[in-house]
C-alpha cells in the first residue's frame, strides 16, 4: 500500500518562530538574531518570506547544539497582544502544565 507524503503545514497569517533550548528544554522565541523566553517579546513575521528567512537562519544555527526543532507557528495580534492560534502553542507559551503555580503560567490570567 502506498501512502501519500504528508503535506507541509501552511500558516496563513502572521507567524512566530519557536524552538526548545537543549540545556533545560525551555521554550524559546526568536528575537532578532537571538532567542527570548517570553512569547510577548518574540518577533512576529507579517509575511511568509520573512518567516521563511528566519526559519532558515535558525535551522542553520542548530549545529551549535544550543536549541532544537525550530518551527513557525501562526499567531494573531489583538490590541497589541500576541495570541497563538493553536492550542499547542498556547500551552507551550504558558509553561509546564503539571502545576499552575509554577513556571511561566504562575500569576498569569490569560496568554
What whole-number distance in Å separates Cα of residue 52 and Cα of residue 15? 10
- Model confidence at 95, in pLDDT bands (50, 70, 90)? confident
pLDDT for 12: 78
Provide the greatest CA pair distance for the chain: 51
pTM of the shown model:
0.79
On whether the CB atoms of residues 74 and 82 are closer than 8 A, the answer is: no
Arithmetic mean of pLDDT over the chain: 86
What whole-number distance in Å separates Cα of residue 111 and Cα of residue 107? 11
> What residue segments make up the domains of the chain, in order of their start?
15-94
- Model confidence at 6, in pLDDT bands (50, 70, 90)? very low
pLDDT in tens, 25-65: 899 999 999 999 999 999 999 999 999 999 999 999 999 99
Amino acid at each position: 500500500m502506498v501512502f501519500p507524503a504528508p503535506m507541509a503545514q501552511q500558516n496563513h497569517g502572521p507567524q512566530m518562530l519557536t524552538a526548545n533550548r537543549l540545556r533545560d528544554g525551555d521554550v524559546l522565541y526568536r528575537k532578532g538574531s537571538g532567542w527570548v523566553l517570553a512569547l510577548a517579546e518574540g518577533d512576529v513575521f507579517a509575511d511568509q518570506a520573512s518567516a521563511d528567512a528566519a526559519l532558515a537562519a535558525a535551522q542553520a544555527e542548530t549545529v551549535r547544539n544550543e536549541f532544537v526543532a525550530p518551527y513557525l507557528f501562526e499567531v494573531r495580534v489583538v490590541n497589541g497582544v500576541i495570541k497563538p492560534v493553536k492550542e499547542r502553542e498556547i500551552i507551550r507559551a504558558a509553561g509546564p502544565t503539571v502545576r499552575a503555580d509554577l513556571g511561566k503560567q504562575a500569576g498569569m490570567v490569560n496568554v
